[in-house]
Structure formats: C-alpha cells, structure tokens
Structure 1
Amino acid sequence: MKRLLITGAAGGLGSAMRARMAKFADLVRISDIADLGAAAPHEELVICDLGDAEAVHSLVEGCDGILHLGGISVEDKFSKIMNANLLGLYNLYEAARAHGHPRILFASSNHTVGFYRQDDHIDATAPMRPDGLYGVSKCFGEALARMYFEKFGQETALVRIGSCMERPTNHRMLSTWMSYDDFEALIACVFRAPMLGCPIIWGVSDNDSRWWDNSHAAYLGWRPGDNAEHFRVELEAKVPRPAPSEPLAHYQGGQFTQDPIFTEE
C-alpha cells in the first residue's frame, strides 16, 4: 500500500501494532485523540476525534487501507461509546465510501458473544450475545460494515479480538489470547487477499483451549503460530484459579458479563 491509516494508535493495541506497520505501506498515517508522540520517518500524525465527520473525511483521504483500532475498548458511559464506536464508525465508513473504498480491518470484539458459556464452541454463524454496551457497540459495527459491503461493496475484515497482548494474564486468556505476532500475520493476510468480502474472523491464537472455530475464514491463509498453552504452568503458579461460579470461569466474556452499566452524570 502507499498509505495505511491506523486509528486508535495511542491505545495499548495500537501502540503495539504501530511499530510493526512500516512493512505494510510506504507511509503510515497514525491517528488518535491522545498524544501520539514523535513521528517516525515513515509516519504522519493526525489528531482526530472520530465523532467529527469532517475531520474523519480528511483523515481517510488518500489511504489505501485502514486498520481501525479506534474507539472505546471497555464498558463505559453510553455517551462516550456512542460518539466513538457508533457515530465514529459511521463517519469512518462514509469517509471510506467517499474515498474509493479502502479495505478495512475493523477491531470488533469477543464481547459480541460474551454470554456464551466457556464450554460452548461456536463459529461465525452463532447468534450475537453481547455482554454490555461496549459489546453492543461492536455488534452495531459488524452490522454497519455488513451493510456497507452488501450495498456499496466496501470490504471489511470483522476481527473479533479475544485478548491481544504480550502474554495471557488470567486463566480465561488461555482460551482467548492472541499474540502480537499472530495479529500482525492476520493483518498481512487481510490486506493481501485478492478478495476479502466481509468475513467474521476470531482474533485468537492457536490455543489448545480456544472456543472459536475459524474454519470459514481459511481462504485468507491465516495460520496462527502461537499457543497460550506455553504460558499455562507459569500462569497457574502465579494466578489463583477462579471459582467455577465466577464470570472469569463461566462466561466467554468474563468479567464484562458482570460489569455495571455506567450511568450518565
């Protein structure tokens, strides 16, 4: 690509991926509402509120691909989620429609299905069961992306990220963990595929205890190489196992199934 846009680049996952994206494009446009630090030689920095339609229109102009990690990533007040995850996503898709349909990787979430039990094994055809307003916002995002694909031909990879971090930090993550290397490999597959469509992809490494079936997306050629099982002995020595009745041991969404709905002040 000539120019790749990364939204949410100041967040935890955005910061981790930012340094890895130079190989994907001649120029990487880095965006967030927070401080982005200094630009690398291959980067251009743009402060942008996703809720500002005009600013998002300018942000997307000239981009060949979009790695959309921006928005609220935890349960929060509806007003915050609405601006970033609903209005902001609509603005992004309208901007993409106006600027030639650059391919999008949308960071959806496992919290679209958080109320499935941990002994349920599901694929992309399973009905959504969101575990909070954040999960609902990602359900909206997937529906919006699907409509833009069906109506306008906008290709999007809907990546339901499990727990993407350096290593798993609790027992639930032995099933949901996705390594940074595996996410980078997935990004490469999404942007080089001759035809993408609008698939749901479970963002999870090749964990022995994973709950999600990615066979429907095999055509992309993504083969995760890491396995959370490598960390099991170390994790179990340091982290107490949750009681069977606790959300971390019962539901796929873990604690999000119990987090309160945040009220507006």
Structure 2
Amino acid sequence: MLITGAAGVVGTMMRSRLRREGRVLRLLDREPLPPAEPGEAVEPVTGTLTDPDVMAAACDGVDAIVHLGGHSRENSWAETLAVNIDGTHTVLEAARKAGVGRVILASSNHAAGFRLVADAGPDGLPADSPARPDTYYGVSKAAIEALGSLYHSRFGIDVICIRIGACFERPSDVRALSLWLSPDDAGRLFEACLGHPSPGYRVIWGVSANTRGVCSLAEAEELGYRPQDDSERFAAGAAPSDPSARYLGGPFTTAALGEPN
C-alpha cells in the first residue's frame, strides 16, 4: 500500500495506525522520512507526487493508495493548482497505468466550507453535499473529488473521497469540537475504506462520533467505520470560536485568498 504525504501531519499519525502483519507500507514524501522501526515493513520513497516518473515507480506493485500529499492549507492559486489538483491527477494517472484498484483521496470540510452549520439537520450534513468551497484550497479538494469520480467512472477504480474535518490529537476550539477526527478513529476509517469489498465511488465525512457533530456519519458507517472517540472530553478547554463558525469552514471563509496560512 502506498501513502503519499507520509511525512505530513496525518501521514505521520497513520504510519503506525495502518501497520499490519503482512502489509508493506510504501511511504512517499518530498521530505526524508524517519527510518523503519524494528519489525516495521516500510519502503520509504523520497520524491514529489507532481513528478510522473516518481509516481509511476511508487505505484508499481501496490494494491491501494492513501493520497494525503499536497498543500494542506491555503496557498497561491499557482501552487494549489500545480500540487493539489495537477498532482492528484498525476497520482490517479499513475494508479490507472499501474492497475491499482483502490485510491483513497484526502478531501476536506473546506470543499463545502460555505455550508451553513445551521443547515445540518438532525442527521448532519450529508457527505455528498454539493461543493461550496471557502478558499483556493477548498476548490482544490472539490476538484480532486471530481477527478476521483472521473477515474472511477472511466476506469473502474474504487475511489473514496474523505472530507476530513479536523484530524489532530485534540480539537483546538469550539468549532473543532464538531469536526474532530481523532487519530485513532482516522486509522479505523482508513481501514474501513481499505477493507470494503466494492465501494465504487464514495464521498464520506472524516469525523469522530462527536456529541456536537454536524456531519453525517451514515455514509462512512456504510463502509464499516465504527468511530469510538468523542471530542466532548476536550470541551472544557476549547477556545471560543469567532462568528465565522456559522459556516462549516469557519475562519477559512474570511481568510485572504491565495495567502499561505
């Protein structure tokens, strides 16, 4: 299995959580990766996902890709286009040519960041809510969902797009209490996506079972995801959110476009 962006925040947390007996993790990042731990079956690859030759070599012989690479915050349009959109196209093309049967794409809540939290309803916002991006970054995530749909429909690759909420060790503020995806639940979610026999094309939310949740868990649960964590235990220490929290994307809806944050 290949993980792109393996040295990033989520990639680093998933390295140990996706470790399984008999599974070899091929880890791709432009930054050098920590060496293998005793008993760990990893194949580090240093390179960029925007390079077709690097991606072709990285995809050779793998059965699934967890695509976490790319800019994870707002950046210039040129950088966002080159890395997040064109880079994901390079990943999917390499997967197609190598015969990789399943690709999991890390989308984001910011693909739908201008959705009003008040519109969530009792079952939460559906995972396939139409895109309402809040930034160039959000546009790139909506674009990779569309690319994933194309590569499933045209070439039969199973593609699951995970609209990740806030995947950190703990939520930072009140808004994040509703969107938190614990690292352990993230591992459970990726395993569910990897293990479902025939998912086809899906868009799902990547969140934990949060008491204050505003995103539907139903679509991820259909794949076998069983979240076990709840952000409520962090509520007492959560910082207040500003008025932008009325939107799913929170402060991204007021951030300057194209400026790294």
CA contact (8 A) 1:120 1:211 kept: no
Whether 2:204 is the aligned partner of 1:201: answer: yes
Correspondence for 2:117: 118
CA contact (8 A) 1:50 1:83 kept: no
Correspondence for 1:185: 188
Unaligned runs of 5+ in 2: none
Correspondence for 1:107: 106
CA distance in 2, matches of 1:35, 1:99: 25
- Which amino acid counterpart does residue 133 of structure 2 have in structure 1? P
* Deviation for aligned residue 1:216: 3.4
Correspondence for 1:56: 55
Unaligned runs of 5+ in 1: none
CA contact (8 A) 1:101 1:155 kept: no
Q: Which runs of 4+ in 1 moved over 4 A?
A: none
Correspondence for 1:258: 254
Instruction: Give 2:217's match in structure 1, choosing from 214, 219, 225.
Output: 214
* Deviation for aligned residue 1:210: 1.1
Correspondence for 1:139: 142
CA distance in 1, matches of 2:184, 2:221: 18
SS in 1 for 2:174: coil
RMSD over aligned Cα, in angstroms?
1.6
Task: Give deviations 1:23-57, integer Å, cap 9, x for gaps.
Answer: 17531111111121323341111112111112111
Instruction: Give 2:19's match in structure 1, choosing from 18, 22, 29.
Output: 22
CA distance in 2, matches of 1:183, 1:24: 19
CA distance in 2, matches of 1:130, 1:199: 19
CA distance in 1, matches of 2:230, 2:174: 14
User: With structure 1 as the length reference, what TM-score do the two structures score?
Assistant: 0.91
CA distance in 1, matches of 2:172, 2:127: 26
Correspondence for 1:82: 81
- Aligned positions, number: 254
Task: Give deviations 1:212-237, integer Å, cap 9, x for gaps.
Answer: 113234321212111111211232xx
Residues 90 and 230 from structure 1, CA distance in 2 versus in 1: closer, same or farther, beyond 3 angstroms?
same
Q: Which moved further from structure 2: 210-219 or 111-120?
A: 210-219
User: With structure 2 as the length reference, what TM-score do the two structures score?
Assistant: 0.92
CA distance in 1, matches of 2:12, 2:221: 28
CA contact (8 A) 1:112 1:128 kept: yes
Correspondence for 1:6: 3
CA distance in 1, matches of 2:128, 2:23: 37
SS in 2 for 1:22: coil
CA distance in 2, matches of 1:125, 1:227: 23
* Deviation for aligned residue 1:124: 2.6
CA distance in 1, matches of 2:86, 2:155: 19
